[in-house]
Structure 1
Amino acid sequence: MDYQTLEIQQEQRVATVWLNRPAVRNAFNQTTIAELTQAFRALGQDPEVRAIVLAARGPAFCAGADLNWMKQMADYTHDENRADAALLAEMLRTIYLCPKPVVAKIQGDCYAGGMGLVAACDIAVAAEEVNFCLSEVRLGLIPATISPYVIKAMGENAARRYFLTAERFDAQQAQRIGFVHAVVAPDALDAKVAEIVKALLSNSPNAVAEAKKLVREVGGMPLTEALIAATVEGIAQIRASDEGREGVRSFLEKRKPSWLA
């Protein structure tokens, strides 16, 4: 389909979703939110797509909310604000729950809601000149809708600082607190993302999807008998799956598995 705020490219089982509003630093509005939700739902179910890259055109990755959209929100009722926030929450959840691995390629500054987009991805790679900022409290707001994802990504201790101070921090600090996984020179960004995507494509598609689900379901859970039982069931099911059997056979037979053929 045609998108107003995004550009979608598909090549060799990789889909790249480009935020494509460079004139406003890729700030998002209702249209962007709806289009990202629709795009990730569709790509998540596309059997030809094995990995997704979230990238952005122009000098900034995402400046957060669009100013014109914010002007509209200033006159919203409580119910209208709730409905509007629910759409943003659904977009973030759709990216987070996407069965395909999602890599954020962060080429420029990433503020406020843009940090929510990155946090909803599985892997984040940033150029070393990128700055990050959770700027909401400067405007009398809080990063409520993005908080479940951002806190998971950077941890409660770091979130407490940056939610409260709205300080800018650089890509190196983002890596130290775990918000991004790798920081590279700007001219090495494409190569680093391609390296990670290549690693993803080398693996069983079903196992990658199940491993992504495993992290969500086990992370932060107490070590209980129910959790142990669930992990036992998980390995039993994956061993009996078609790709599980094929992976073991190909290893023993010293050949490439079918997903690499």
Structure 2
Amino acid sequence: MQYDTLNIGFDAQVATVTLNRPDVRNAFNETMIAELTSAFTALNTRDDVRAVVLAANGKAFCAGADLNWMKKMSAYSDDENRADAMLLANMLSSVYRCNKPVIARVNGDAYAGGMGLIAACDIVVSVDTARFCLSEARLGLIPATIAPYVIRALGEQASRRYFITAEAFDCATALRLGFVSEAVQAEQLDATVQQVATTLCANGPQAVRACKQLVQDVAGRELSDTLIEETAARIARTRAGAEGREGVASFLEKRTPRWRN
């Protein structure tokens, strides 16, 4: 897995995808978008990977769209703009729908599309000095492609404010709003991310995958009879599955489950 704008590393059962355009604060262009889509699509199929860390080199996590790329887009036709926007939408979807849990390792500021990238992840560990901004309105634009992910992660009311004001907010605010899962000092960032990854890898891999899908499928739905029956059926299938039987047996027998060996 060789890329121009990313570094990919593996350590035991954890893959790390690192944005590697520090000279432009890891702003993404068409190459980075295509490579992120390719990387997450490939990782999605690997049984030896149990968790993915999305990281970045340099001082910033991601500044959003590259200015030269945006300048090029300004000359696009409507059809070309739609096609280009779909590439970004597909990239975000590849992160959000990755069947491995994705941890965002936020080493610095995240603006615009960078916030969308973080919002597509499952767990966000950030340095406490990071700042966040949905800056699109300053440029006469809207954060439309990232909206499905940001609104889920930030909440509707906060999204209303920060979409229309385009004001920056600090990590303490992001933590309070639930956009960030944990805020730590810079020297604690790697250890905290590693601890989260280790915790994830200790759990049943099929259960983790199913839990992630469960949240995506259930969130926002009406508590109907259909939903109640559907969730009952899911736990029934899990109990009857090999991993579920092994997990319960290992607990009762006071031994380590096979997936940790």
Taking the aligned partners of 2:159 and 2:125, their CA distance within structure 1 comes to 19
Taking the aligned partners of 2:25 and 2:135, their CA distance within structure 1 comes to 15
Q: Secondary structure at the match of 1:26?
A: coil
Deviation at 1:37, TM superposition (A): 0.4
Taking the aligned partners of 1:44 and 1:171, their CA distance within structure 2 comes to 30
Q: TM-score, normalised by structure 2?
A: 0.99
- Superposed CA deviations along residues 9-35 of structure 1, whole A, max 9, x for unmatched, are 011110000000000000000000000
Equivalences for 1:84-163 in 2 at 5 Å?
A: 84-163=84-163
Taking the aligned partners of 1:151 and 1:241, their CA distance within structure 2 comes to 35
Q: TM-score, normalised by structure 1?
A: 0.99
Q: Which residue of 2 aligns with 1:178?
A: 178
Taking the aligned partners of 1:93 and 1:250, their CA distance within structure 2 comes to 36
Taking the aligned partners of 1:26 and 1:120, their CA distance within structure 2 comes to 17
Q: Which amino acid aligns with 1:43?
A: L
- Superposed CA deviations along residues 111-154 of structure 1, whole A, max 9, x for unmatched, are 00000000000000110100000000000000000000000001
Q: Which residue of 2 aligns with 1:62?
A: 62
RMSD: 0.5
Deviation at 1:169, TM superposition (A): 0.3
Taking the aligned partners of 2:211 and 2:7, their CA distance within structure 1 comes to 28
Equivalences for 1:1-261 in 2 at 5 Å?
A: 1-261=1-261
Taking the aligned partners of 1:61 and 1:102, their CA distance within structure 2 comes to 15
- Superposed CA deviations along residues 1-59 of structure 1, whole A, max 9, x for unmatched, are 32000000011110000000000000000000000001001111111100000000000
Q: Which amino acid aligns with 2:53?
A: V
Taking the aligned partners of 2:174 and 2:13, their CA distance within structure 1 comes to 30
Q: Secondary structure at the match of 1:124?
A: strand
Any gaps of 5 or more consecutive residues in structure 2?
Answer: none
Deviation at 1:87, TM superposition (A): 0.5
Q: Which amino acid aligns with 1:99?
A: N
Q: Secondary structure at the match of 1:61?
A: coil
Q: Secondary structure at the match of 2:61?
A: strand
Taking the aligned partners of 1:68 and 1:238, their CA distance within structure 2 comes to 49
Q: Which amino acid aligns with 1:244?
A: G
- Superposed CA deviations along residues 193-247 of structure 1, whole A, max 9, x for unmatched, are 1111111011000000000000001111110000001000100111111111100
Percent sequence identity over matched residues?
60
Q: Secondary structure at the match of 2:80?
A: helix
Q: Secondary structure at the match of 2:9?
A: strand
Q: Which amino acid aligns with 1:237?
A: R
Taking the aligned partners of 2:158 and 2:15, their CA distance within structure 1 comes to 32
